[in-house]
């Protein structure tokens, strides 16, 4: 199992460190509140979100599926803003980018037989 990576933010009173798993969990919860978004599930972490840090800024790579009939680009943009706002408001970390990959469409219609 890989070692956990941490992202640190230093304040006047000391340092607060966040694991990448904490950041990805915040992002996953934010995605769950966006109408039309169905996060992609993985066996390992439960969600398909990668966290990268460069120059003290966080980049998130999020895979989602979008509900059929929704405007895909609008849903993806809303997902980007919700994730960025949630991570920033909960941690104070600066977001470099929230990259969304739409990996599928989810049908909400069930075939009646």
The reported pTM is: 0.86
Residue 95 belongs to what domain range?
Answer: 20-106
Say what the alpha-carbon torsion angle 52, 30, 92, 51 is, to the nearest 10 degrees.
Answer: -10
62's CB contacts (< 8 A; 6+ apart) are: 27, 31, 39, 48, 49, 79, 83, 98, 99, 100, 101
pLDDT greater at residue 88 or residue 7: 88
**pLDDT, tens digit, 9 for 90 and up, residues 87-109:** 999 999 999 999 999 999 999 77
Domain assignment present for 1: no
**How many residues are given for the chain?**
113
Domain assignment present for 43: yes
Whichever domain contains 52, its CATH number is: 3.30.70.1350
**pLDDT, tens digit, 9 for 90 and up, residues 39-69:** 787 655 557 899 999 888 999 999 999 999 9
Domain assignment present for 14: no
Q: What is the mean pLDDT of the chain?
A: 89
Number of domains in the chain: 1
Domain assignment present for 12: no
Mean local confidence (pLDDT), 3-15: 86
Domain assignment present for 30: yes
Which two structure tokens, joined as six digits, stand for 33?
């509140």
Q: How far is the CA of 95 from the CAs of 22, 47, 68, 73, 87, in angstroms? A: 15, 19, 29, 20, 8
Angle between the 72-91 and 20-31 helix axes, to the nearest 10 degrees? Answer: 140
Does residue 1 have a pLDDT over 50?
Answer: no
């Amino acid at each position: 199992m890989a070692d956990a990576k941490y992202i640190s933010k230093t304040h006047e009173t000391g340092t607060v460190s966040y694991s990448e798993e904490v950041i990805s969990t915040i992002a996953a919860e934010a995605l769950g509140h966006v109408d039309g978004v169905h996060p992609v599930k993985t066996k390992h972490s439960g969600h398909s979100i990668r966290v990268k840090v460069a120059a003290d800024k966080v980049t998130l790579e999020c895979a989602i599926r979008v509900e059929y009939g929704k405007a895909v680009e609008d849903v993806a943009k809303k997902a980007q803003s919700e994730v960025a706002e949630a991570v920033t408001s909960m941690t104070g970390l600066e977001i470099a980018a929230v990259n969304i990959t739409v990996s599928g469409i989810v049908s909400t219609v069930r075939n009646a037989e």
